[in-house]
Structure 1
Amino acid sequence: MNAVIASTRAELLRLRKWPSMWVLLAAWIVLNLVFVYVFNFITFKTGGTTDMASSAPPDVLLVQMLPSAVPQVFTQGMAMFGGALMLILGALTIGSGYGWGTWKTVFTQGPSRSAALAGTLLALLTVVIGLVLTVAAVDVGVATVIATVESEPANLPAASAMLKALASGMLILAMWTVAGVLVGALARGPALSVGLGLVWVLVVENLLRGVAAILDPVSVVTDFLPGTAAGSLAGSLRDFGGDTTPGVLNILDGGTSVLLLAAYVAAFAAGTIWLVRRRDVN
């Protein structure tokens, strides 16, 4: 346990001083604001529609931008775009260690491989928690400003709804982050692991779900893919009208999605540790 704690602290120090991590986290915060608030606000004020904003009526758009709607909207982009960025972070964290040769040093001179990887996973989960809390706080702040500008009630969301949304966001991003860690361990390099991860998140799962719409037997597999579980959990939090955000689905119920995502997190983490322990350090 002491080795795991020490590895976690060391990994947190490395991540804190790593510009790539801050770029990825900042990119998601900016994208979240742009797609959830900026485009919708422009559409609401102009009374038109854009390809990047919801085609919902203006009154629905305004409701989505109020503080009370934050639990419903701030997870909507996590299923695909936010998840893709966190998968990149996980893949780079592990893959770069192979590219730089640092894992060889850690595995031969430092703590056990299991302790080192457990520390890395815990550090990344800490980053996920911090990111979700930051995004929620930013969204509440921006929504409050919009409510004030439009002379609407700036009622804060219910505590239970906010806690549910926070837990859902952490679980979705944790799953994609740990998936990136596994891909990074498989590829043992940053470029290939990032490429493979993005192809899976943005292309493969969507193509498989398209095939499942034509061939029903394929849905036995596609209904339980990682992206399906993440999208279904995000979709279970949403009860307003309008177009669906890419990646947000209604295939599984919330409870099933939570169990499936938790199983994926455990399986990806265990698979990474098993794989690294079994392979040569080179």
Structure 2
Amino acid sequence: MNAVIASTRAELLRLRKWPSMWVPLAAWIVLNLVFVYLFNYITFATGGTTDMASSAPPDVLLAQMLPSAVPQVFTQGMAMFGGALMLILGALTIGSGYGWGTWKTVFTQGPPRSAALTGTLLALLIVVIGLVLTVAAVDLGVASVIAVVESESASLPAADAMLKALASGVLILGMWTAAGVLVGALARGPALSVGLGLVWVLVVENLLRGVAAVLDPVSVVTDFLPGTAAGSLAGSLRDFGGDTTPGVLNILDGGTSVVLLAGYVAASALGTVWLVRRRDVN
């Protein structure tokens, strides 16, 4: 346990001083604000349309930008775009250690491999939790400003709804981060692991779901893919219509999505530890 705690603290120190960690985190905060609030508010204020909001009437657009709607819109982009950024972070965290040769030093002179990897996974979990809390705080702040400007109710969302949204956000982003860690361990390098992860998130799953729309037997597989589970969990939090957010689905119910995502997190973490312990450090 002491080795795990020490590894977690060391990994947190490394991540905190690593510019490559802050880039995807900042990118997701900015993208979240742009797609959830900026585009919708411009559409609402000008009476025009955008691809992100063309099917929603003005009153629905405004309702989605108020503080009470934060639990519903908070996770809408995490299933695809936020997940892709966190997969990059997970892949870089593990893959760069192979590229720099630091894992060789850690595994031969430091704590046991399982302790070092557990510390890395716990450090990334802390990063994910911090990001989710930060995005929630930013969303609530921006939504409150919009409510005041438009003379609407600035009442905060119900505590249970907000907690559910926060837990869902941690689970969605945590799943993609753990998947990135596994891909980084498989590829043992940052460039290949990032490329493979992005191809899967942005291309392969969407193509498979497109094939499933034509060939029903394929849906047996596509209905239980990581992106399907993440998108379905995000979709289960939404009760408004007219939204075309990429990656948000209504294929699985919320309970099934949670079980699948938790299973993917466990499988990715255990698979990473098993893989690294079985392979040579070179």
Compute the TM-score of the two structures, normalised by the length of structure 1.
Answer: 0.99
The 3 A distance-change label for structure 1 pair 145 and 68 is same
Range with bigger deviation, 60-69 or 238-247: 238-247
Structure 1: gaps (5+ residues): none
Q: SS where residue 213 of structure 2 aligns?
A: helix
The 3 A distance-change label for structure 1 pair 34 and 149 is same
Instruction: Say whether the 8 Å CA contact 1:91–1:184 is kept in structure 2.
Output: yes
- 1:220 is aligned to 220
Q: Deviations over 1:160-210 (max 9, x none)?
A: 000000000000000000000000000000000000000000000000000
1:233 aligns with 2:233: yes
Taking the TM superposition and a 5 Å limit, the aligned residue runs for 1:12-51 are 12-51=12-51
Q: SS where residue 151 of structure 2 aligns?
A: coil
Query: Could you say what the CA RMSD is over the residues aligned between the two structures, in angstroms?
Result: 0.6
User: Per-residue deviation at 1:52?
Assistant: 3.9
Instruction: Say whether the 8 Å CA contact 1:35–1:53 is kept in structure 2.
Output: no
Matched-pair identity in %: 92
Taking the TM superposition and a 5 Å limit, the aligned residue runs for 1:166-181 are 166-181=166-181
User: Per-residue deviation at 1:216?
Assistant: 0.5
Distance in structure 2 (CA, Å) of the matches to 1:107 and 1:79: 34
User: Per-residue deviation at 1:50?
Assistant: 1.4
User: Per-residue deviation at 1:48?
Assistant: 1.0
User: Per-residue deviation at 1:51?
Assistant: 2.4
Q: SS where residue 49 of structure 2 aligns?
A: coil
The 3 A distance-change label for structure 1 pair 45 and 101 is same
Compute the TM-score of the two structures, normalised by the length of structure 2.
Answer: 0.99
Aligned length: 282
Distance in structure 1 (CA, Å) of the matches to 2:135 and 2:92: 22
User: Per-residue deviation at 1:54?
Assistant: 4.6
User: Per-residue deviation at 1:244?
Assistant: 2.4
Q: Deviations over 1:2-29 (max 9, x none)?
A: 0000000000000000001111100000
User: Per-residue deviation at 1:55?
Assistant: 2.6
Distance in structure 2 (CA, Å) of the matches to 1:42 and 1:75: 21
Structure 2: gaps (5+ residues): none
Distance in structure 2 (CA, Å) of the matches to 1:160 and 1:68: 12
Instruction: Say whether the 8 Å CA contact 2:52–2:245 is kept in structure 1.
Output: no
Instruction: Say whether the 8 Å CA contact 2:11–2:119 is kept in structure 1.
Output: yes
Distance in structure 2 (CA, Å) of the matches to 1:113 and 1:64: 46
Q: Which runs of 4+ in 1 moved over 6 A?
A: none
Distance in structure 1 (CA, Å) of the matches to 2:53 and 2:238: 17
User: Per-residue deviation at 1:253?
Assistant: 0.1
Q: SS where residue 214 of structure 1 aligns?
A: coil
Instruction: Say whether the 8 Å CA contact 2:53–2:243 is kept in structure 1.
Output: no
Distance in structure 2 (CA, Å) of the matches to 1:210 and 1:166: 30
Q: Deviations over 1:207-231 (max 9, x none)?
A: 0000000000000000000000000
